[in-house]
Amino acid sequence: MDANQLASSPASPPPVGNDTLHAPIEGHSARQSWLAVLSVAVGSFAFVATEYMPVGILPQIARELGVTPGTAGLMTTTPGIIAAISAPVLLLAAGRINRRLILLILAVFLLASNLISAIAPSFAVMLIGRALLGASLGGFWTVALGASGQLVREEQAARASATIFMGITLATVIGVPLGTLIADLSSWRMSFFATAVLAALALVAQALLLPTIAPKAAMRTGDFGAMLARSSVRRSMLMVGLLFGAHFAAYTYIAPFLERNAGLGGHWITAVLLGFGIVGFASNFAVSAFVTRHLKMSLLVLGALVMVALFVLPLLQASHVAVIATVMVWGIVYGAIPLCLSVWMQLTSPDRPEAGSSMFVSTVQIAIALGSLGGGAVVDHLSIASTMRFGSVLAALGLLVISTFSTRGTTLKAVLEK
pLDDT attached to residue 20: 36
**Choice between 104 and 27, residue whose per-residue pLDDT is larger:** 104
SS3 71: helix
Dihedral, 304, 250, 162, 343 alpha carbons, nearest 10: 30
Q: How many angstroms separate the CA atoms of 1 and 8, rounded?
A: 11
Residue 307 has pLDDT above 90, yes or no: yes
Report yes or no: 38 and 46 within 8 Å, Cβ to Cβ.
no
Domains and their CATH numbers in the chain: 30-416 (1.20.1250.20)
Residue 125 has pLDDT above 90, yes or no: yes
| Banded pLDDT at 311 (limits 50, 70, 90) | very high
pLDDT attached to residue 15: 34
Amino acid (1-letter code) at residue 292? T
7: left (phi over 0), alpha (psi -120 to 50) or beta: left
Alpha helices in 257-319 (DSSP H): 266-286, 288-293, 295-312
Q: Given CA atoms 146, 151, 154, 160 in this order, what sign does their dihedral have?
A: negative
Burial track 256-293 (b if 16+ CB lie within 10 A, e otherwise): bbbbbbbebebeebbbbbbbbbbbbbebbeebbeebee
> Per-residue pLDDT tens for 8-30?
333 333 333 333 334 455 555 67
Q: What is the mean pLDDT of residues 337-343?
A: 78
Q: How many angstroms separate the CA atoms of 192 and 132, rounded?
A: 14
Q: How many angstroms separate the CA atoms of 310 and 252, rounded?
A: 13
pLDDT attached to residue 114: 95
Q: What percent of the chain has pLDDT over 90?
A: 26
pLDDT attached to residue 138: 81
> Per-residue pLDDT tens for 348-375?
776 666 666 677 878 888 888 888 888 8
> Per-residue pLDDT tens for 384-413?
889 999 999 999 999 999 988 876 655 566
263: left (phi over 0), alpha (psi -120 to 50) or beta: left
Q: How much is the pTM?
A: 0.72
| Banded pLDDT at 203 (limits 50, 70, 90) | very high
Q: What is the mean pLDDT of residues 42-52?
A: 88
Q: How many angstroms separate the CA atoms of 35 and 206, rounded?
A: 9
pLDDT attached to residue 41: 86
Q: How many angstroms separate the CA atoms of 130 and 110, rounded?
A: 9
Choose the weakest-confidence range: 104-113, 235-244, 264-273, 322-331. Answer: 264-273
| Banded pLDDT at 219 (limits 50, 70, 90) | low
Amino acid (1-letter code) at residue 361? V
Report yes or no: 240 and 342 within 8 Å, Cβ to Cβ.
no
